[in-house]
Amino acid sequence: MKLINKNVDYAARALLVMSKTGGVFISARDIAAAQKIPYHFLRRVLQPLIKNGIVASVEGTKGGFKLLVDPAKLSILKLISIYNGKFQLSECMFRGKPCSNRRTCVLRKEVVKIENDFAERLGKLTISKLLQK
Amino acid sequence: MKLINKNVDYAARALLVMSKTGGVFISARDIAAAQKIPYHFLRRVLQPLIKNGIVASVEGTKGGFKLLVDPAKLSILKLISIYNGKFQLSECMFRGKPCSNRRTCVLRKEVVKIENDFAERLGKLTISKLLQK
DNA sequence: TTTAACTGACACTATTGTAGTATCAGTTAA
DNA sequence: TTAACTGATACTACAATAGTGTCAGTTAAA
Ligand code: FES
Ligand code: FES
């Protein structure tokens, strides 16, 4: 079971770099060098962050990326949801097979509760927490 | 993000069937039919359960499988660990890259805590809970 | 003693997900 | 005009997941 894949990993590290450079635009090449991330991979990783309004970009020479949001409000959960879709560990454990009624299923209720708690806590793991040291 | 794969899913359903038949041996063919699980797949899924002392099997005609342990003590977590190895969502989130010291890393401490709580709760999701209705 | 129903152990295919690389078009500062 | 950049997308390689098939050995029963 892997929760953090390279997409999320590299995105978090790129955002970490950006949160340090503040409002200045930094190029993908420089981010890649700073974190030893494969350049082309990083460029692909950055696109969804733009689409989600997390970073801004400018093209051309001296172009690059900068953070648009507060790192204290940017969670690992958010990144996971961007790259891996909605975070949910199991839509329904047995897809209606042994469970006659989804609404009354004991197991399902419990799983949903655990999932929610888990997601809530992952939502509190923010980029800014990585800087606290 | 998927936590429950077919191995765990089918295993749990097979164990559910066995927990109903009690001490009587039931064949893989009958389990597969009862739960609409692909027969050959199920046969492969059952082997690790034997290795882990969860079920017993007898060969030959009228052979089959039966449960060896208390369904109330058989958790989803146990099944996950059997098929997917030790349950851990992220060994280390950034593998020493932005984190200067693993021992003091705030993020890592928090992730470990969340993981532990999560595993503990998954450990309470037992096969017998599926029967409670 | 032969047969049919079974498990044990693998080998095999197909599909999908993950990681990484490459290319080309368009943009902008110098 | 050129060099450094982004946007978009296509491509390869590898691993994980899901499912199928086969053959050897075991056992109850005809
Ligand atoms: S696990 Fe899905 S309804 Fe019970
Ligand atoms: S996340 Fe691994 S040491 Fe910080």
Using one digit for the tens of pLDDT, what is the confidence trace for B72-122?
999 999 999 999 988 777 767 776 666 667 777 777 888 888 889 989 999
What is the extent of the structural domain holding B21?
6-131
Q: Where are the beta strands (DSSP E) in A1-122?
A: 55-58, 64-67
Whether residue B55 is contained in a domain is answered as: yes
Q: Is residue B7 within 8 Å of B83, Cβ to Cβ?
A: yes
Whether residue B107 is contained in a domain is answered as: yes
Q: What pLDDT was estimated at residue A100?
A: 61
Asked whether residue A47's C-beta has any atom of DNA/RNA strand C within 7 A, the reply is: no
How close is the Cα of B53 to the center of ligand 1, in Å?
Answer: 26
Using one digit for the tens of pLDDT, what is the confidence trace for B16-43?
999 999 889 999 999 999 999 999 999 9
How close is the Cα of A35 to the center of ligand 1, in Å?
Answer: 43
Nearest CA to ligand 1 atom 2: A92
Asked whether residue B37's C-beta has any atom of DNA/RNA strand C within 7 A, the reply is: no
Any chain B CB within 8 A of the CB of A87?
yes
> Which CATH number belongs to the domain containing residue B20 in this structure?
1.10.10.10
Give, as one character, the DSSP assignment of residue B35.
Answer: H
Q: Provide the 3-class DSSP secondary structure of residue B37.
A: coil
CA A105 to chain centre: 31
Q: What pLDDT was estimated at residue A32?
A: 97
Residue entry with tokens 């809970």: B129
Whether residue A94 is contained in a domain is answered as: yes
Considering CB atoms only, which of B4, B76, B110 is closest to A125?
A: B110
Q: Is residue B10 within 8 Å of B41, Cβ to Cβ?
A: yes
Q: Is the pLDDT of residue A1 over 90?
A: no
The total domain count for chain A is 1
B107 CB neighbours in chain A (<8 A) are 125, 129-130
Whether residue A34 is contained in a domain is answered as: yes
Ligand 2 pocket member B107 (CB < 6 A): yes
A14 CB neighbours in chain B (<8 A) are none
Ligand 1 pocket member A92 (CB < 6 A): yes
Whether residue A1 is contained in a domain is answered as: no
Residue A72 tokens, joined:
């204290």
What is the residue-averaged pLDDT of chain A? 89
Using one digit for the tens of pLDDT, what is the confidence trace for A22-41?
889 999 999 999 999 999 99
Q: What pLDDT was estimated at residue B67?
A: 97
